[in-house]
Structure 1
């Protein structure tokens, strides 16, 4: 059984992300590997105690590599339809603020069912380690993925446009939507322009530029993991307003001016997600 917010959800079998790889389009593939550096960086920042726990919880097929399972939460949406609402949080149009009580709910109004609630939920489950009350392997994979989602600004976007999904734009004259620009297109362009289409090379470059001062600042969000998750969402909606939505109305043509000013934001959010996931896991497994 799958536990979420005190409820049980049935499932038929463990679903490994590799089963789905043959059905993945290029854009979906880029979405998957966006989560790779976050999981990859994080594992390198773990304490020995946290690293040991993560290795024990990872499925055998992961071969000790958290990054290999970072796409799992996307691939199981069909099997776990209740999980779809956990990848994002919608906020009121144009307010540019996030509030847990106001915003963290699914389309039926069920409280806590958003990406922040999911981070809180799976963090709480993992703190019971090594208990077997919950499926802690899945809790680890959900948490790792949702930490990436909450750092993507348009996963904390406006309600009416579904985080930019309904805003049509042209990325270097190719029709897409604003959410996809922030999920995939900016990263694709960076990989193509500067990193020989290698996500590993791009990830290593981002990691090499993280300073100890930044790590300290990014981990000083509050005294509890729930306060931190709220902070991450607040950062994202502010960046959605200041960068994602700005100068990107419906049918806008976006190219170098938009890309060059936004790609540093994307790189920073990837780095923050990685550092903060490691910090969460280090606090959980003590």
Structure 2
């Protein structure tokens, strides 16, 4: 009995701890983009999404792919969360690379998920799995460090301090900057969900390869601004909050665009 209790306790702790160790926007970041996406769905797309997710909102579904990391059966999804590069690339170079890289990554798996969700033959069970993954991966691509250097695990090995807390560049963009705003995800959405019609049209017209390129370029910029071991604090927040908010907003608007094309 004692052994069973210990196993259950370990599993529970793993489920709670997994999001903090995951390579993704933090919990709030995903929910922010997810709620923005839901705000911009067509009525037809919203009805289709609700038919698949049931009572689960897009905001709440957006973290499923991180929470499930505590289940070894889903280990195969690990590389679906990011796409890394060994060096900076021009857009033609990156497009060529993305179109020929057969290793599972955020780009080719997102293309796969879009294709599968469009099929009328996709089972109800798979639709739920694929929709949850599509939501999450679309948002992940807009976290710059998900398209960064393979050599330092997308900034995870780039050590810095957030005020007095030792951390890394990946975590700064996953959670620290977002949590520093001290807003719930619904409050955050109310603060930033004001895209112009031109922005919506431009962002949604861009192909997925362009999302990756934009995010990767941003990652390169972030690397150049600081050195390992540096302490980041109020100034870093002040100079990067607009970039952070735009990436969260872009992720939500582009997710809405994908879902509208698939279901709307």
1:14 corresponds to which residue?
A: none
1:41 corresponds to which residue?
A: 36
Instruction: For residue 22 of structure 1, report the CA deviation from its aligned partner.
Output: 6.1
1:66 corresponds to which residue?
A: 58
How far does the alpha carbon of each residue in 1:105-133 deviate from its partner, in whole angstroms, 9 at most, with x for none?
9xxxx715111111101101100136428
The count of residues paired between Structure 1 and Structure 2 equals 248
RMSD: 2.5
2:94 corresponds to which residue?
A: 99
1:280 corresponds to which residue?
A: 258
1:138 corresponds to which residue?
A: 129
How far does the alpha carbon of each residue in 1:137-178 deviate from its partner, in whole angstroms, 9 at most, with x for none?
111000000011000111000111111110110111211001
2:220 corresponds to which residue?
A: 241
2:240 corresponds to which residue?
A: 262
Any idea what SS the aligned residue of 1:170 has? strand
**Residues 19 and 66 in structure 2, CA contact (< 8 A), matched pair in contact too:** no
Any idea what SS the aligned residue of 1:124 has? helix
1:155 to 2:146 alignment? yes
Q: With structure 1 as the length reference, what TM-score do the two structures score?
A: 0.79
**Residues 42 and 274 in structure 1, CA contact (< 8 A), matched pair in contact too:** yes
CA distance in 2, matches of 1:234, 1:114: 14
How far does the alpha carbon of each residue in 1:21-75 deviate from its partner, in whole angstroms, 9 at most, with x for none?
96237846981221112111111211122111111111x4xx1512121111112
1:115 corresponds to which residue?
A: 106
Among 192, 209, 223, the alignment partner of 1:230 is 209
**Highest relative contact order (Cα 8 Å, sep 6+), 1 or 2?**
2
- Higher percent of residues as helix: 2
Any idea what SS the aligned residue of 1:175 has? strand
**Residues 90 and 103 in structure 1, CA contact (< 8 A), matched pair in contact too:** no
